[in-house]
């Protein structure tokens, strides 16, 4: 369902681009790369109890792989007359299409990623809070399905999302 062509539709792509997150991730990667160069290229043991060269290469590749995963991860949300489509790439290659008929209520709300879901990313909340797709921020679209399950989708475009919901799901939008 391609909804970007319709003026009433909504499309948002979010990525992990927080400066503090990248400072931590790049710092850890730089540390391992430094250790790899020191130990492998210069032949000087890195640390008091150095790893073997093979183990250091494996850990450096793992850290760089995690860095790449964060760089590639993106949350895409589309809203149209057909419903809501959401994808958290690379965890889901295909969009999860949610028909308006499956939804019992929608709500724009403020949330706490850490308190409610234990952090950012693809999260499973505690105590019946449901599933959450969160990249950053504290505002999101809370869906409650007719089967009682819940899904929170984070957004950085709250006003555009509100307009799309008012157009496609009129008189049913609740806010907190």
Q: What is the mean pLDDT of residues 24-51?
A: 92
Which of 60, 13, 67 lies closest to 41 in space, CA to CA?
A: 60
Question: What is the C-alpha to C-alpha distance for residues 38 and 89, in angstroms, rounded to an integer?
Answer: 35
Residues of the chain above pLDDT 70, percent: 90
pLDDT-derived band at 1, boundaries 50, 70, 90: very low
Question: What is the C-alpha to C-alpha distance for residues 36 and 46, in angstroms, rounded to an integer?
Answer: 8
- DSSP string over 17-60: --HHHHHHHHHHHHHHHHHHIIIIIS----SSSPPPHHHHHHHH
Q: What is the mean pLDDT of residues 79-89?
A: 95
pLDDT-derived band at 8, boundaries 50, 70, 90: low
pLDDT-derived band at 175, boundaries 50, 70, 90: low
pLDDT-derived band at 7, boundaries 50, 70, 90: low
pLDDT-derived band at 174, boundaries 50, 70, 90: low
Which of 130, 135, 129 lies closest to 156 in space, CA to CA?
A: 135
63 exposure class (CB count in 10 Å sphere: 0-12, 13-18, 19+): middle
Q: What is the mean pLDDT of residues 70-93?
A: 95
φ, ψ of residue 108 in degrees (nearest 5)? -85, 130
Q: Give how far the C-alpha of residue 25 lies from the chain's centroid of Cα atoms, to the nearest Å.
A: 16
Question: What is the C-alpha to C-alpha distance for residues 123 and 114, in angstroms, rounded to an integer?
Answer: 10
Tens-digit pLDDT profile for residues 38-77? 998 899 999 889 889 999 999 999 999 999 999 999 999 9
Specify the pLDDT at position 171. 67
Question: What is the C-alpha to C-alpha distance for residues 47 and 49, in angstroms, rounded to an integer?
Answer: 6
With a cut of 50, say whether residue 4 has pLDDT above it: no
Integer CA distances (angstroms), 172 to 83, 115, 162, in order: 14, 27, 11
Specify the pLDDT at position 173. 67
């Amino acid at each position: 369902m391609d909804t970007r062509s319709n003026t009433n539709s909504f499309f948002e792509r979010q990525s992990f681009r927080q400066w503090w997150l990248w400072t931590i991730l790049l710092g850890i990667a730089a540390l391992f790369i430094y250790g790899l160069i020191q130990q492998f290229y210069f032949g000087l043991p890195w640390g008091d109890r150095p790893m073997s060269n093979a183990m250091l290469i494996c850990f450096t590749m793992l850290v760089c792989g995690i860095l790449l995963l964060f760089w590639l991860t993106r949350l895409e949300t589309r809203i149209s007359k057909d419903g809501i489509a959401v994808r958290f790439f690379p965890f889901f290659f295909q969009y999860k299409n949610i028909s308006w008929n499956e939804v019992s209520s929608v709500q724009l709300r403020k949330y706490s990623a850490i308190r409610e879901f234990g952090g950012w990313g693809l999260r499973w909340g505690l105590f019946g809070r449901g599933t959450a797709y969160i990249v950053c921020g504290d505002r999101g679209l809370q869906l409650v399905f007719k089967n009682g399950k819940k899904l929170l989708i984070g957004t950085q475009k709250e006003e555009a999302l509100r307009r799309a919901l008012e157009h496609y799901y009129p008189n049913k939008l609740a806010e907190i």
